């Protein structure tokens, strides 16, 4: 068993980057391969992971089963870092309030995937989002439940990402976890990609502007690409400040339409959830064992 491979799980969250981590990094597949960083198409490994987790029911696999699973994903490739992403690693989004708590099974579910390769080093990555936007997006994205069944009498005032992260840490004490706010992704996408792939920040990645390009004009996209290409020696901090400037100048106001229309929700509900989220993010930044990426 190749226990020197670092297993990396990107946990989502659901309806945040919409699988963009995979597609942004795959633009540099050759570069990643040269660095022994491996990223397969999700449709190859997700069924294998799900099947093994279901079969094991929380138990650890035999060394033979570990080797078979790893070989099915990477073959005989020389790999130092294996990246796997799935917004359902935390749990099926439609059931995220199961039992009346926000991702109550986050610890159990992440431990299940961590224990697929129990002797390998493991890291988790998670982008969090304002529940005032996140909850409506997840609810609209599922068709299994009506709103009362979806919420399961959960008190919205108790929704905290820090609690989810704490459950992940408690269940996986040997696994570092990196967190960022989805709202910051347009500015820090490059840092997110570099951190997940463990690539030197000085190395330019082809997908580092993928998120900001979704919400600025074509003129802004072209100017940003040229500006960065002409200044390859900019530090990451300088690149972030530059993206903030381009967002302010070329932002497409209709590119991000957040529709918040849920039963009994009011403007006051949104404001209260946003305040809770802001306070929660500050708490997350102070949590032991958490690496927090910010602009």
The predicted pLDDT at position 76 comes to 86
CA dihedral sign of residues 2, 196, 13, 207: negative
The residues pairing with 10 across neighbouring beta strands, listed in sequence order, are 85, 125
214, 211, 208: which is closest to 234 by C-alpha?
208
Q: What confidence score (pLDDT) does residue 30 get?
A: 96
Residue with tokens 């500050």: 282
For residue 257, what pLDDT is reported?
A: 66
Q: What is the mean pLDDT of each run of 10 residues along the chain (295 residues)?
A: 96 92 97 96 96 94 97 94 97 96 98 98 98 96 94 97 99 98 97 97 94 97 96 92 96 78 94 98 98 97
Q: Which pLDDT score, from 0 to 100, does residue 72 have?
A: 97
36: left (phi over 0), alpha (psi -120 to 50) or beta: left
Q: Which two tokens stand for residue 265?
A: 């929700």
Beta bridge partners of 127: 180
Contact assessment for residue 120 and residue 3, using Cβ atoms and an 8 Å cutoff: yes
3-state secondary structure of 291: strand
Give backbone dihedrals phi and psi of 122, rounded to 5 degrees, phi first. Answer: -140, 145
Shortest CA distance to 72 belongs to which of 55, 89, 51, 57? 51
Residues paired with 84 in a beta bridge: 9
Q: What percent of the chain has pLDDT over 70?
A: 99
For the chain, give every domain's residue range: 6-215+256-293
> How many Å apart are CA 263 and CA 36, to the nearest integer?
49
> Right CATH number for 6-215+256-293 from 3.90.320, 1.10.287, 1.10.10, 3.40.50?
3.40.50
Contact 9, 114 (CB under 8 A): yes
CB 107 within 8 A of CB 171: yes
């Amino acid at each position: 068993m190749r226990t020197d491979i670092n297993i990396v799980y990107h946990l989502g969250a659901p309806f945040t980057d919409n699988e963009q981590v995979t597609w942004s990094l795959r633009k540099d597949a050759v570069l990643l391969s040269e660095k022994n960083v491996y990223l397969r198409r999700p449709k190859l490994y997700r069924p294998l992971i799900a099947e093994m987790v279901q079969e094991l029911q929380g138990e650890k696999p035999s060394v033979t089963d570990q080797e078979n699973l790893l070989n099915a994903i990477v073959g005989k490739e020389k790999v130092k870092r294996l990246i796997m992403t799935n917004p359902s690693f935390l749990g099926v989004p439609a059931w995220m309030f199961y039992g009346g708590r926000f991702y109550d099974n986050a610890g159990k579910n992440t431990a299940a995937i961590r224990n697929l390769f129990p002797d390998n080093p493991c890291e988790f990555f998670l982008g969090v989002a304002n529940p005032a936007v996140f909850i409506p997006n997840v609810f609209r994205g599922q068709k299994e439940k009506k709103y009362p069944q979806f919420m399961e009498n959960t008190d919205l005032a108790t929704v905290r990402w820090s609690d989810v992260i704490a459950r992940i840490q408690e269940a996986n004490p040997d696994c570092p976890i990196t967190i960022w706010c989805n709202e910051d992704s347009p500015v820090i996408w490059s840092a997110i990609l570099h951190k997940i792939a463990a690539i030197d920040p000085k190395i330019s990645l082809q997908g580092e502007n993928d998120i900001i390009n979704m919400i600025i004009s074509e003129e802004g996209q072209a100017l940003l690409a040229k500006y960065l290409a002409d200044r390859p020696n900019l530090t990451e901090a300088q690149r972030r400040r530059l993206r903030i400037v381009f967002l302010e100048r070329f932002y497409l106001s209709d590119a991000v339409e957040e529709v918040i229309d849920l039963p009994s929700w009011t403007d006051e509900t949104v404001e209260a959830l946003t305040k809770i989220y802001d306070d929660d993010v500050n708490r997350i930044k102070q949590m032991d064992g958490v690496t927090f990426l910010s602009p």
